[in-house]
């Protein structure tokens, strides 16, 4: 699933581009290191706030500790210089001990409209197909002032809005005035169903989630988490947080045949100062009767090896897809890559655009016609990339198919995928 704010641009009353948004026919404002990393199929849209004394150990969750294998069928990739890969889809979800009930909102967001009186709010709602009886109930909760009106939804009223009306209302809200809408998620209906099936939510809660889903612009969308969270006790809200944080990824293993010459495979997985020590490891597999396999987590450089299939250590972690890509081939993580200026300097001085066959560590940049970069992913092998589909700690670092990443960022209007290669490796 992707974040609701991944495809269109909304304008504020002053005419400036808004944030991430679903919206009718407008283009996303992609900001380098801001909006582009805030979307993603399989990504959850819950932006977390600090919720107290959260330790680093509590905030970090590895896939091996809490991963659901939704499809145990292994997909065998085409052989190449990287070797023979075996791929299995997984679903990641944070552990209960790092999920906070306070991350499940119980107060719905206020609908803020750039109008000055209740009559204008009524006309705005009517134009989006809301029935007279629903409008009458909602208008009783409107307050106006300073050229704006805010409607504070009552929960039962919010649940009673038909899906078609819900879609029109949310698509036309100004997302600078209503940033809470950015916390929604969107994707294919079957993805929602798979996630609901994998969750431990009670059946009545799953049914309520389904009731609040609506169809917009080719996707199924869920925004009203508060309408669900308000019905749950503390354990139930924790399970709802885990549902909202579900992310799809891949477990990838390298298969070595008995007696196989691994020298070419070692060359592929060796970039810069990393990978040369793999020769003995892979040769030991080739000497085994029948060969063997190894998780490619063990073949990656140290930074992605530490991050893969984990959620962030901090609820307000600034590390995004660009930071992740630039640090992929670094011996240790360099937080200078949190700054746009440092990344631009490094790209200018030490990277070139390439069209030759991809190598481990090549960067895929999703570039807008303006030159702004909406997302960064890293080539691993075959069609698999290392990616963090969001800037918040709600998005883990995962492996994904390049095609799925391209699909989820196709809404960046006019975007072009370019591949960059580092030139200053030791």
In tens digits, the chain (426 residues) has pLDDT values of 666 654 333 322 223 222 222 333 222 222 333 333 534 333 332 222 223 333 333 333 333 333 444 445 788 988 999 999 999 999 888 878 778 888 898 999 999 999 999 999 999 999 999 999 999 999 999 999 999 999 999 999 999 999 999 999 999 999 889 988 877 887 788 889 989 998 999 999 999 999 999 998 788 999 999 999 999 999 999 999 989 888 889 999 999 999 999 999 999 999 988 888 899 999 999 999 999 999 999 999 999 999 999 988 776 788 999 999 999 999 999 999 999 999 999 999 999 999 999 999 999 998 877 777 888 999 999 999 999 986 666 688 999 999 988 877 765 556 789 999 999 987
Residues 167 and 227 in one domain: yes
For the chain, the first-to-last Cα distance in angstroms comes to 39
Shared domain for 172 and 41, answered yes or no, is no
Token duo for residue 168: 């029109």
My answer on whether 283 and 348 are in the same domain is yes
Residue 13: Cβ-neighbour burial (10 angstroms; 0-12, 13-18, 19+): exposed
Residue 135 within a domain: no
Is residue 131 in a domain? no
User: Are 236 and 322 part of one and the same domain?
Assistant: no
Confidence (pTM) = 0.71
| Token reading at 101 | 């009930």
Please report which residue ranges of 147-262 form alpha helices under DSSP H.
155-159, 163-172, 189-198, 203-212, 225-229, 234-244
The Cα 179–Cα 166 span in angstroms is: 17
- Closest by CA to 240, choosing from 93, 109, 108, 107, is 93
Whether residue 350 is contained in a domain is answered as yes
**Residue 171, CB-side half-sphere exposure with 13 Å CA sphere:** 23
269 and 372 fall within a common domain = yes
Q: Give yes or no: residues 316 and 198 share one domain.
A: no
In this structure, the number of other CB atoms found within 10 A of the CB of residue 284 comes to 13
Tell whether 61 and 105 lie within a shared domain.
no
**Within a domain: residue 119?**
no
Domain ends where: 244, 268, 287? 244
Same domain, 211 and 341: no
DSSP code of residue 362: P
Give me the domain span that covers residue 214. 2-30+101-109+153-244
**Same-domain pairing of 282 and 221:** no
Same domain, 392 and 303: yes
How far is 290 from 287, CA to CA, in rounded Å? 8
Do the domain assignments include residue 168?
Answer: yes
* Residue 411 forms part of a structural domain: yes
Q: How many domains does the structure of the chain reveal?
A: 2
| Residue 208 confidence (pLDDT) | 96
Shared domain for 43 and 56, answered yes or no, is yes
Domain boundary, last residue among 244, 267, 284: 244
- Domain identity same for 277 and 395: yes
In a domain, 124, yes or no: no
Taking every pair of C-alpha atoms in the chain, what is the biggest distance, in angstroms?
A: 79
Last residue of a domain, one of 194, 210, 244: 244
* Angstrom distance (rounded) from CA 196 to CA 188: 13
66 assigned to some structural domain: yes
Q: Are 214 and 167 contacting, i.e. CB atoms less than 8 angstroms apart?
A: yes
User: Distance between CA 282 and CA 295 in Å, rounded?
Assistant: 12
Rounded-to-integer distance, Cα 20 and Cα 9, Å: 7
């Amino acid at each position: 699933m992707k974040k609701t704010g991944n495809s269109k641009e909304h304008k504020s009353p002053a005419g400036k581009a808004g944030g991430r948004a679903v919206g009718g026919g407008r283009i996303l404002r992609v900001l380098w290191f801001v909006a582009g990393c805030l979307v993603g199929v399989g990504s959850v849209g819950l932006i977390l706030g600090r919720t107290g004394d959260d330790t680093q150990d509590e905030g970090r969750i590895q896939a091996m500790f809490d991963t659901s294998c939704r499809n145990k069928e292994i997909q065998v990739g085409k052989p190449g210089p990287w070797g023979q890969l075996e791929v299995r889809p997984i679903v990641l979800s944070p552990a209960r001990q790092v999920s906070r009930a306070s991350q499940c909102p119980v107060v719905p967001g206020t609908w803020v409209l750039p109008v000055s009186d209740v009559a204008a709010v009524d006309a705005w709602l009517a134009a989006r197909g809301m029935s007279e009886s629903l409008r009458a109930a909602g208008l009783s909760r409107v307050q106006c002032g300073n050229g704006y009106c805010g409607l504070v939804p009552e929960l039962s009223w919010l649940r009673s809005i038909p899906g078609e009306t819900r879609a029109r209302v949310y698509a036309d809200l100004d997302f600078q005035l209503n940033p809470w809408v950015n916390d929604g998620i969107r994707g294919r209906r079957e993805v929602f169903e798979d996630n609901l099936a994998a969750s431990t939510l009670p059946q009545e809660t799953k049914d309520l989630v389904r009731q609040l889903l609506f169809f917009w612009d080719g996707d199924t969308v869920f925004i009203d988490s508060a309408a669900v969270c308000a019905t749950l006790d503390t354990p139930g809200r924790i399970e709802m947080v885990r549902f909202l944080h579900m992310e799809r990824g891949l477990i990838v293993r390298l298969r070595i045949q008995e007696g196989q010459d691994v020298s070419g495979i070692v060359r592929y997985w060796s970039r810069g100062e990393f990978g040369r020590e793999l020769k003995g490891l892979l040769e030991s597999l080739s000497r085994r009767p029948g060969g063997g396999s190894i998780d490619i987590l063990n073949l990656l450089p140290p930074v992605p090896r530490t991050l893969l299939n984990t959620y962030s250590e901090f609820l307000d972690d600034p590390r995004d897809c660009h930071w992740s890509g630039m640090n992929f081939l670094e011996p240790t993580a360099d937080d200078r890559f949190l700054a746009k200026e440092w990344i631009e300097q490094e790209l200018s001085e030490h990277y070139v655009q390439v069209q030759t066959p991809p190598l481990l560590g090549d960067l895929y940049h999703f570039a807008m016609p303006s030159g702004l970069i909406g997302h960064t992913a890293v080539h691993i092998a075959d069609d698999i990339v290392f990616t963090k589909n969001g800037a918040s700690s709600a998005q883990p670092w995962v492996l994904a198919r390049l095609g799925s990443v391209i699909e989820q960022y196709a809404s960046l209007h006019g975007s072009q995928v370019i591949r960059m290669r580092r030139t200053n490796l030791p």
